């Protein structure tokens, strides 16, 4: 019989006396495995990002550092001179093994069938027909670094590696000239080349443009008034007289240009390669000249920064594998800024309507689903749409209405910076819409109600209360849109980007911003140099340094936008954004 007067704790103790309690909890229930998994994934992702950025930075920053020139003599007597480009371990083929000596075959067999070889950049493409040559380490008899070898960067045919045996200045020949005398003569040659370029582009080219404008004026008058109209005949007569004057002036300029070119041909250097072949090189076509094996640290530093200056501010040459990327920088910045100016109002207005004005229901939900799905459409699809709609439909209509005299040559009916910016605006507008909607939804409802209670209209509330507090979130969407748009290449290949643009989309001629012009882009420049150049090895350093520059430009633009967003955040520190 149970004792009802016994303490309740004693009863519970006796009831559970035969059962052991388990105070441990399952490890999965506490979440530690997932925490470690997510932390490990984050660490791996960060390491991958740091690794690829570190590789790009290392390869980019070391590209322009002057390297020594080695003279390599093979055991069969063949001699080459060049920069060490890279080393690799490879497995010789059967034919290569048969061509080796028994001692070399034994070395390869001892290395499990592998051998080492070095790739040298020998340059002198006009003499050899190739820029690079491999040398098996086992075939090398000796390697020297002579101090009298020159490294010449030229406007054409790439670099030249060899000796400068003489220099001729207006008929006066100097044997074994000093490097100071050569650099002085090269500087004078650059002045002659600049004068020749000015005559071709600024004067003769400008006259050609005026003649073309006169021709278009006559064609426009013919289309407007008819060929037999008095006004058309008057315009024709005036255009013919002006054209005659311009042609006479251009003829005189061409004579002067021929004289300058003949004078420039009298200034040249005689070059000799390591094998004794000679070549006469015009001094005006030499970009830079130095002795890589006889340079101090500060001389190398000066050459290094000089190459960086040329890379940023000069035009490309040698199929974009050498020279600078200034047109690509201007084109990238112009397209990205225009993209931002187009995508911001479209994205913000769409998000404002969907969040603040549209009646929430199935239709609005369907629109939001479509916007989210647009973010996953391949970028090349936008390029095809931009080519068909913007270039052919809108551009063709604009040409027929406003530029009929230029047809069949298109003005806006082909790729240009305007159509490229509009295409990328369509590509990135879903990002801005989603970010703006989230920012608008984060503004407390009490602020809206307070503003409306004070007598403000709905637009006044949005304008002065909602938008300022949502602006940091809107800026986040714009930053993401800029970053994606600046790095896109596939759609640009269809709507305006070109390998080499003779004219910039922004210059000092009226109207200063030329929306109809094609342009160069750093992203397409990377693709072109890496996959379309005649020599992938020659273009690889330019790929890394251009990638580094593109990343730096995107980071600078994003940093400016982030700074603006931070300032806006500080203004409304009490809000959620």
Total number of domains in the chain: 3
- What pLDDT is recorded for position 20? 58
Q: Is residue 141 part of a domain?
A: yes
Confidence of residue 552 (pLDDT cuts 50, 70, 90): very high
Q: What whole-number distance in Å separates Cα of residue 522 and Cα of residue 501?
A: 13
Mean pLDDT for 92-120 is: 87
Q: Is residue 51 part of a domain?
A: no
Q: What is the pLDDT of residues 180-231, one digit of tens each?
A: 999 999 999 999 999 999 999 889 999 999 999 999 999 999 988 988 889 9
- Please list, in sequence order, all residues whose beta carbon lies within 8 angstroms of the beta carbon of residue 288, skipping any fewer than 6 positions away: 152, 153, 303, 306, 307, 310
Given 269, 294, 319, the domain boundary residue is 294
- What pLDDT is recorded for position 1? 43
- What pLDDT is recorded for position 234? 92
Mean pLDDT for 328-336 is: 93
List the one residue out of 407, 547, 429 whose CA is nearest residue 484. Answer: 429
* Tally of CB atoms within 10 A around 201: 11
Q: What whole-number distance in Å separates Cα of residue 449 and Cα of residue 459?
A: 13
Mean pLDDT for 80-86 is: 93
- What pLDDT is recorded for position 159? 93
Q: Is residue 563 part of a domain?
A: yes
Q: Is residue 445 part of a domain?
A: yes
- Length of the chain equals 577
Q: Is residue 29 part of a domain?
A: no
List the one residue out of 302, 329, 285, 286 whose CA is nearest residue 545. Answer: 329
Q: Are 473 and 399 members of one domain?
A: yes
Instruction: Give 30 or 290, the one with higher predicted confidence.
Output: 290
Q: Are 196 and 343 members of one domain?
A: no
Given 294, 320, 341, the domain boundary residue is 294
Question: For residue 60, is pLDDT > 80?
Answer: yes
- What pLDDT is recorded for position 11? 47
Q: Is residue 238 part of a domain?
A: yes
Q: Are 384 and 287 members of one domain?
A: no
- Please list, in sequence order, all residues whose beta carbon lies within 8 angstroms of the beta carbon of residue 314, skipping any fewer than 6 positions away: 323, 324, 326
Q: Are 487 and 400 members of one domain?
A: yes
Task: Give me the torsion for CA of 242, 248, 249, 251, rounded to 10°.
Answer: 140
- What pLDDT is recorded for position 301? 95
Question: For residue 482, is pLDDT > 80?
Answer: yes
Q: What whole-number distance in Å separates Cα of residue 82 and Cα of residue 151?
A: 9
Question: For residue 85, is pLDDT > 80?
Answer: yes
Instruction: Give 571 or 373, the one with higher predicted confidence.
Output: 373
Q: What is the pLDDT of residues 230-278, one digit of tens each?
A: 999 999 999 999 999 999 999 999 999 999 999 999 999 999 999 999 9
Question: For residue 448, is pLDDT > 80?
Answer: yes
Structural domain that includes position 267: 162-294
Residue 373 backbone class (left: φ over 0; alpha: ψ -120 to 50; beta: rest): alpha
Q: Are 442 and 523 members of one domain?
A: yes
Q: Are 92 and 138 members of one domain?
A: yes
Q: What is the pLDDT of residues 361-376, one digit of tens each?
A: 888 888 888 888 887 8
Confidence of residue 28 (pLDDT cuts 50, 70, 90): low
Q: Are 377 and 477 members of one domain?
A: yes
Q: In percent, how much of the chain has pLDDT > 70?
A: 94
List the one residue out of 520, 519, 516, 523 whose CA is nearest residue 486. Answer: 523
Q: Is residue 488 part of a domain?
A: yes
Q: Are 136 and 269 members of one domain?
A: no
Q: Are 229 and 123 members of one domain?
A: no
Confidence of residue 21 (pLDDT cuts 50, 70, 90): low
Mean pLDDT for 100-120 is: 88
- What pLDDT is recorded for position 361? 86
Helix (H, G, I), strand (E, B) or coil at 153: strand
Q: Are 457 and 565 members of one domain?
A: yes
- What pLDDT is recorded for position 577? 38
Mean pLDDT for 544-564 is: 89
Q: Are 139 and 227 members of one domain?
A: no
Q: Is residue 24 part of a domain?
A: no
Question: For residue 574, is pLDDT > 60?
Answer: no
Q: In percent, how much of the chain has pLDDT > 90?
A: 56
Question: For residue 571, is pLDDT > 80?
Answer: no
Mean pLDDT for 436-456 is: 89
Q: Are 87 and 202 members of one domain?
A: no
Question: For residue 421, is pLDDT > 80?
Answer: yes
Could you tell me the CATH number of the domain that includes residue 81? 2.30.30
Lowest mean pLDDT among 10-19, 254-263, 518-527, 547-556: 10-19
Torsions phi, psi of 413, nearest 5? -85, 20
Given 120, 145, 170, the domain boundary residue is 145
Mean pLDDT for 424-442 is: 91
Instruction: Give 75 or 9, the one with higher predicted confidence.
Output: 75
Confidence of residue 25 (pLDDT cuts 50, 70, 90): low
List the one residue out of 304, 333, 327, 303 whose CA is nearest residue 314. Answer: 327
Could you tell me the CATH number of the domain that includes residue 554? 1.10.3720.10
């Amino acid at each position: 019989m149970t004792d009802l007067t016994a303490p309740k704790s004693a009863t519970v103790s006796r009831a559970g006396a035969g059962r052991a309690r388990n105070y441990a909890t399952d490890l999965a229930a506490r979440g530690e495995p997932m925490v470690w998994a997510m932390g490990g994934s984050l660490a791996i992702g960060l390491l991958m990002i740091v690794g690829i950025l570190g590789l790009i930075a290392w390869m980019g920053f070391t590209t322009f550092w002057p390297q020594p020139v080695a003279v390599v003599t093979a055991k069969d007597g063949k001699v080459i001179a060049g920069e060490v480009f890279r080393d690799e371990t490879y497995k010789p083929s059967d034919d290569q093994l048969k061509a080796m000596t028994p001692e070399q075959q034994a070395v390869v067999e001892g290395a499990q069938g592998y051998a080492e070889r070095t790739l040298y950049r020998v340059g002198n493409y006009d003499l050899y027909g190739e820029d690079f040559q491999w040398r098996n380490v086992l075939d090398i008899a000796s390697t020297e670094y002579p101090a009298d070898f020159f490294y010449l960067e030229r406007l054409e045919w790439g670099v030249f590696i060899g000796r400068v045996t003489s220099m001729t200045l207006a008929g006066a020949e100097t044997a074994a000239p000093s490097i100071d005398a050569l650099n002085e003569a090269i500087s004078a040659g650059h002045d002659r080349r600049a004068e020749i370029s000015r005559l071709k582009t600024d004067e003769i080219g400008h006259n050609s443009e005026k003649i073309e404008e006169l021709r278009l004026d006559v064609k426009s008058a013919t289309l407007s008034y008819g060929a037999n109209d008095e006004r058309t005949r008057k315009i024709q007569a005036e255009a013919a007289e002006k054209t005659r004057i311009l042609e006479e002036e251009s003829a005189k300029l061409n004579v002067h240009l021929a004289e300058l070119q003949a004078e420039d041909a009298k200034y040249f250097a005689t070059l000799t390669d390591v094998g004794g072949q000679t070549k006469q090189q015009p001094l005006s076509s030499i970009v830079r000249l130095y002795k890589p094996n006889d340079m101090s640290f500060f001389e190398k530093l000066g050459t290094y920064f000089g190459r960086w200056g040329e890379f940023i501010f000069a035009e490309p040459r040698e199929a974009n594998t050498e020279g600078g990327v200034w047109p690509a920088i201007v084109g990238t910045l112009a397209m990205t800024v225009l993209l931002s100016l187009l995508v911001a109002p479209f994205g913000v207005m769409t998000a404002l309507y969907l969040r603040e004005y549209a009646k929430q229901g199935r239709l609005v939900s369907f629109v939001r689903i479509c916007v989210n799905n647009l973010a996953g459409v391949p970028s090349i699809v936008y390029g095809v749409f931009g080519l068909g709609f913007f270039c052919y439909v809108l551009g063709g209509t604009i040409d027929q209405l406003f530029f009929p005299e230029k047809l069949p040559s298109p003005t806006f009916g082909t790729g240009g910076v305007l159509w490229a910016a509009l295409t990328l605006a369509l590509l990135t507008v879903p990002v801005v819409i989603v970010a703006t909607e989230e920012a608008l939804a984060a503004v407390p409802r009490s602020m809206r109600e307070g503003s409306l209670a004070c007598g403000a209209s709905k637009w006044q509330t949005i304008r002065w209360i909602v938008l300022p507090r949502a602006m940091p979130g809107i800026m986040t969407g714009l930053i993401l849109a800029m970053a994606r748009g600046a790095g896109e290449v596939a759609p640009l290949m269809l709507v305006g980007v070109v390998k080499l643009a003779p004219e910039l989309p922004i210059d000092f001629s009226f109207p200063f911003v030329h929306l109809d012009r094609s342009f160069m882009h750093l992203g397409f420049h990377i693709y072109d140099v890496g996959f379309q150049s005649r020599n992938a090895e020659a273009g690889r350093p330019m790929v890394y340094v251009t990638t580094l520059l593109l990343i730096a430009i995107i980071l600078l633009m994003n940093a400016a936008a982030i700074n603006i967003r931070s300032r806006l955040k500080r203004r409304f520190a009490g809000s959620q954004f």
